[in-house]
Amino acid sequence: MALANAVDTTQELLDAQSHVWNLIFSHISSMSLKSAIQLGIPDAIHKHNKPITLSQLADALSINKAKSPALFRLMRILVHSKIFDKVNIEDEDEEEAYSLTRASCLLLRDEPLSFAPFALTIIDPILADPFHHVTEWFKNESASPFFTRNGSGLFELTGNDRVFNQVFNEGMASDARFVGSILVEKCKHVFEGLTSLVDVGGGTGTVAKVVADAFPGLKCVVLELPHVIAGLEGSENLSFVSGDMFEFIPPADAIFFKWIFHDWSDEDCIKILGRCKEAITSSKEKGGKVIIVDMVVDCEKQEDVAIETQLCMDMLMMAVTTGKERSEKEWAKLFSAAGFLNYKITPILGLRSVIEVFLS
């Protein structure tokens, strides 16, 4: 049999089957995580203030008693995924109990750096469904599988869908809080010397507010689409401007982008960078630059776990936008095409880096 001849041993054949099965079933891990967040399992364990038994957890969540065995099965896969830990409690007849891990602490609703809204955004059917249309998209003229599925682009849909717009904004804000906290702690040099900054596509102003609070002398402007910033009010050194980055970017010493360029094609990115050149008011010596927080993909040097996450994000960009995650060579090509002569990459944000781009 041809299949049997393709491997050396029966065990290799079984290992190959297991590998393919793990890929087939991998979405179940994210769906299980979604259930845990929606049920409030991390919060219930946190509120209990010590490891919680299955029966205690079921009571805390008001679980249907008949479904306690199913709750055990959900917790079992989440323990395997290292979202929760399993421990034994001596004074509870050595009954097994569950405790939080560092990962599940990031899913607490009241945790300032909570990732729960971001997780629910990425797992939302609106972002997941386009993957069912990738094969169709490869054979049609549509801009993206998302467009094939919905008949519009992602940002058009968020502008017309009030419910998903809120989900999307909350998800992006949760990521912005995480990034902002690290930026002002580890990357202060990036903002030192600046007197003005425009956060392009800055959502509801989460990062801009963190930066403005950390640098009181820095005037921050958030440029966003009207439906994103509707009803938002600024402060003494934080303001909101409604507009389209392809048409105009307000003048400033530095133009900031967090997770924006990966949404757009190379041609669109060059157009955006062109608007940045028009907007930058200072020389490199005085701080004038573009600041980008985004991924720099390096399949040769990064660990397998990190590169897998980056490649998955790249596939998400392919499915829901016209953009992609880029290697340093691809970033350099964009900067050069837009007339920028120098850049500096600081890999300080885990899967993402801070890229400073200069005119000279």
Q: Residue 127 carries which side chain, given as an amino acid letter?
A: L
- Helix H, strand E, coil C: the string for 169-183 is HHHHHHHHHHHHHHH
Give the integer Cα–Cα distance in Å for 284 and 281: 10
Helix boundaries (H) for the chain: 2-5, 10-39, 41-48, 54-60, 68-80, 102-105, 116-123, 125-128, 134-138, 145-150, 154-160, 162-186, 188-191, 206-214, 226-229, 266-279, 304-320, 328-337
Vertex 48: Cα angle to 47 and 54 (nearest 5):
125
Pick the catalytic residue from 19, 27, 132, 262. Answer: 262
The answer to whether residue 262 is catalytic is yes
Question: Do 281 and 251 touch, CB atoms closer than 8 A?
Answer: yes
The separation between the first and the last C-alpha atoms of the chain, rounded to the nearest angstrom, is 63
Integer CA distances (angstroms), 134 to 3, 7, 8, 149, 314, in order: 28, 30, 34, 9, 14
The single-letter DSSP state of residue 304 is H
Angle at 42 between CA 37 and CA 44, to 5 degrees: 110
Three-state secondary-structure class, residue 116: helix
Residue owning tokens 């689409």: 225
Active site residues: 262
